[in-house]
Amino acid sequence: MGCDPDLGPRCDKISNKQDNLILNDLKHSKGIRIACLNINSLPKHIDELRILMQNSPIDILAINETKIDNSFLENEVSLAGYHIIRKDRNRYGGGVLLYVNEAIPCTERNDLLTGSLEIICVEITRPCSKPFLVSTWYRPPNSNLQVFDEFENFLRKCDLENKELILLGDLNCDISKSQSDAHTRRLKFLLSLYQFDQLIDEPTRVTQASATLIDLLISNEKQNIAKAGVIHLGVSDHSLIFAVRKHCAFSSRQNVRYDRNFKNFNATVFLNDLSQIPWENVTLHDDPNICYRVWQSYFLQVLDLHAPLRRIRVRSNSHPWVTSNIKKLMREREFHKKRAVKNRSHMHWVRYKEICNKVNTELYKAKRNFFLQQN
């Protein structure tokens, strides 16, 4: 699928830009780049996310609605050069995850969390600098008002420590509406009470029929945020929100991947060790998901002994099934999404949805064919 002929060479020029659109928007910003995206199923979009984040200047990326559970291994959703901190719900909804640049020293602050909120919080430390907190929270749209009591406990603990907090997430509170619902009013009250500012000022979920500002960025030290904004991406129906926190730059990360080392693998010994596992324990549970996790745990224990995971530095192109034609489709998708949002153009919305479907189809075919050829 090509560009609309009525757009002329302008679309071709955009389509030939560097693949990494985030880099184009943020590469000249100095500081710690923090971003958040509701991706609506991380496994479904992990290849596109990895391409998007290759050589990206983003230091901390929050993902909402990961839709994964503990059966997903870390290397299935990893990004080269980033640590992963995750809080899963299940495959049908929710879940949050933080990708943190390996060069950034951070500590999980689970002691600040209360209740059942889908929230992650880390403390960023740096020599000769005051530590600060970065957090992401996903609030499901069907949540009751009581979740804000738990959220207030979190804000209170941060306030008692006198810590700067930057929180990003899809809170499903449309603060752009002149008539706020009870949930949005409660959120605004808490932000006012604890002296937080909300720094996003344009819609973050735009469709052909609506525009809402539900992906929020709040901070209690507004003066430390050099820049904040929205980037409309085609990979999700939500836009990416970002902030640049004033700070000295961190050293660049290395691209790595994880693979198994079969150098000393002995199939006979491996099978013998597998036969010693009490597999009868797998059938003790009625839930097939639990049975699978028990089986997986036993199997990986043995596999890790005979073919341990190893960390390998790799070149930037670690997705050989993503062809230049697929990348061109992705660029065209981004172009039409941006034009649709900016101009409220029906034609661009139609083209955007068509290309979205084509990208998903072509990615599936290319990845499937690639691995079939490896066998």
Sheet (strand 118-124) strand order = 106-108, 118-124, 132-138, 164-170, 215-219, 197-198
> Of 165-174, 212-221, 257-266, 296-305, which gets the smallest average pLDDT?
257-266
Taking the C-alpha atoms of residue 323 and residue 300, their distance in angstroms, rounded to an integer, is: 33
> Of 105-109, 130-134, 173-177, 259-263, which gets the smallest average pLDDT?
259-263
Beta strand 225-231 pairing with 240-245: antiparallel
Taking the C-alpha atoms of residue 206 and residue 213, their distance in angstroms, rounded to an integer, is: 9
> Of 43-47, 53-57, 154-158, 167-171, which gets the smallest average pLDDT?
53-57
> Of 33-47, 241-255, 275-289, 296-310, which gets the smallest average pLDDT?
241-255
> Average per-residue pLDDT in the chain?
86
pLDDT at 256: 62
- What is the CATH classification number for the domain harbouring 97? 3.60.10.10
Q: Which of 270, 289, 307 is the last residue of a domain?
A: 307
Binning pLDDT at 50, 70 and 90, where does residue 171 land?
very high
The rounded percent of the chain whose pLDDT value lies above 90 is 51
Give the pLDDT mean for 312-338. 77
pLDDT at 19: 40
Q: Are 112 and 86 in the same domain? A: yes
Is 339 inside a domain boundary? no
Q: Are 184 and 266 in the same domain? A: no
Interior/surface letters 45-60, b for 16+ CB within 10 angstroms, e for the rest = bbbbbbbbbbbbbbbb
> Of 81-85, 134-138, 290-294, which gets the smallest average pLDDT?
290-294
Residues 6+ away with beta carbon under 8 Å from 90: 67, 69
- Parent domain of 300: 262-307
Give the pLDDT mean for 323-332. 83
Is 2 inside a domain boundary? no
Is 19 inside a domain boundary? no
Q: Are 234 and 270 in the same domain? A: no
Interior/surface letters 28-38, b for 16+ CB within 10 angstroms, e for the rest = eeebbbbbbbb
Q: Are 229 and 292 in the same domain? A: no
The rounded percent of the chain whose pLDDT value lies above 70 is 89
> Of 25-34, 164-173, 182-191, 213-222, which gets the smallest average pLDDT?
25-34
Give the pLDDT mean for 308-322. 71
Q: Are 283 and 157 in the same domain? A: no
Is 157 inside a domain boundary? yes
Give the pLDDT mean for 239-247. 92
Domain count, the chain: 2
pLDDT at 16: 38
Q: Are 215 and 281 in the same domain? A: no
Q: Are 286 and 180 in the same domain? A: no
Output the CA torsion sign for 170, 175, 179, 181.
positive
Is 273 inside a domain boundary? yes
Region of residue 341 (phi > 0: left; psi between -120 and 50: alpha; otherwise: beta):
alpha
- Quick one: CA torsion of 29, 102, 200, 92, rounded to 10 degrees? 150
Q: Are 229 and 266 in the same domain? A: no
Q: Are 160 and 301 in the same domain? A: no
Output the CA torsion sign for 170, 93, 338, 322.
positive
Angle, helices 182-193 vs 147-160, to 10°: value is: 10
Is 349 inside a domain boundary? no
Q: Are 149 and 298 in the same domain? A: no
End-to-end CA separation in angstroms for the chain = 31
What HEC string does the chain produce?
A: CCCCHHHCHHHHHHHCCCCCHHHHHHCCCCCEEEEEEECCCHHHHHHHHHHHHCCCCCCEEEEECCCCCCCCCHHHCCCCCEEEEEECCECCECCEEEEEECCCCEEECHHHCCCCCEEEEEEECCCCCCCEEEEEEECCCCCCCCHHHHHHHHHHHHHHCCCEEEEEEECCCCCCCCCCCHHHHHHHHHHHHCCCEECCCCCCEECCCCEECCEEEEECCHHHEEEEEEECCCCCCCCEEEEEECCCCCCCCCCEEEEECCCCCCHHHHHHHHHCCCHHHHHHCCCHHHHHHHHHHHHHHHHHHHCCEEEEECCCCCCCCCCHHHHHHHHHHHHHHHHHHHHCCHHHHHHHHHHHHHHHHHHHHHHHHHHHHHC
Q: Which of 214, 245, 276 is the last residue of a domain?
A: 245
Contact between 29 and 226 (Cβ < 8 Å): yes
Give the pLDDT mean for 241-259. 71
Give the pLDDT mean for 325-342. 83
Q: Are 239 and 285 in the same domain? A: no
Is 332 inside a domain boundary? no
Q: Half-sphere exposure (CA, 13 Å, Cβ side) for 302?
A: 19
Is 326 inside a domain boundary? no
Binning pLDDT at 50, 70 and 90, where does residue 310 land?
confident
Q: What is the largest CA-CA distance in the chain?
A: 70
In the predicted model, is pLDDT for residue 22 greater than 70? Answer: no
Taking the C-alpha atoms of residue 74 and residue 258, their distance in angstroms, rounded to an integer, is: 10
Q: Are 104 and 204 in the same domain? A: yes
In the predicted model, is pLDDT for residue 279 greater than 80? Answer: yes
Q: How many residues does the chain have?
A: 375
